[in-house]
């Protein structure tokens, strides 16, 4: 995702969040957006409509609006996504939905963290890491996304928002190699 798309998605997500708060519909809008995201993932024709330059902004807006109304999405979601389509920004809808989810989580004090390890971690280890991340981030609630990457050799890579903690052997060996090249 480019920084332009990220900034665009963030601005739209923040605007939608304010509208959702004002109308007291945050949870239903979140549900509608996530359902729409799943629909995009599962429907090749919808993907073509959204991402193809063959269709104009008005055409996309009309089709998406009809689809969302048929799916019984909230009026705010229908209008919002219809406006995105009219503005020629439908290509960023997945990023906007992601940004909206993050906005909701942030406002509710919930944080998402990714933990990458060389081997799968047992429940005890995951619980220890979970407590550590809550302490470091100072968040009320943290959801962990656990992944494995054998190329790390050992150690962990933890991403909390834009911060990254890399204690992997792979990184340490790469640093050592770079330092050795500087000496030779």
Q: What residue ranges do the domains of the chain occupy?
A: 3-106, 110-183
> Can you give the pLDDT at residue 153?
94
pTM here is 0.66
Reported as a single tens digit per residue, the pLDDT across 47-104 is 999 999 999 999 999 999 999 999 999 999 999 999 999 999 999 999 999 999 989 9
Which listed CATH number (3.30.1050.10, 1.10.520.20, 1.10.599.10, 3.30.1340.10) goes with 3-106?
Answer: 1.10.520.20
> Nearest Cα to 129, choosing from 158, 162, 170?
158
Task: List CB contacts of 47: < 8 A, sequence separation 6 or more.
Answer: 40
């Amino acid at each position: 995702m480019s920084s332009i798309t990220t900034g665009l998605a963030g601005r739209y997500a923040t605007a939608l969040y304010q509208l959702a708060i004002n109308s007291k519909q945050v949870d239903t809008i979140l549900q509608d957006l996530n359902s729409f995201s799943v629909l995009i993932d599962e429907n090749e024709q919808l993907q073509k409509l959204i991402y193809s330059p063959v269709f104009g902004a008005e055409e996309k807006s009309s089709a998406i609006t009809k689809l969302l109304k048929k799916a019984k999405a909230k009026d705010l979601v229908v209008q919002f996504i219809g406006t995105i389509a009219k503005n020629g920004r439908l290509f960023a809808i997945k990023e906007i939905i992601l940004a909206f989810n993050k906005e909701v989580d942030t406002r509710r004090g919930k944080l998402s963290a990714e933990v990458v390890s060389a081997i799968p971690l047992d429940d005890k280890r995951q619980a220890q890491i979970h407590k550590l991340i809550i302490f470091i981030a100072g968040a009320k609630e943290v959801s962990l996304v656990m992944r494995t990457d054998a190329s790390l050799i050992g150690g962990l890579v933890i991403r909390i928002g834009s911060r990254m903690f890399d204690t992997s052997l792979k990184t340490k060996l790469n640093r050592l190699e770079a330092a050795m090249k500087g000496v030779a």
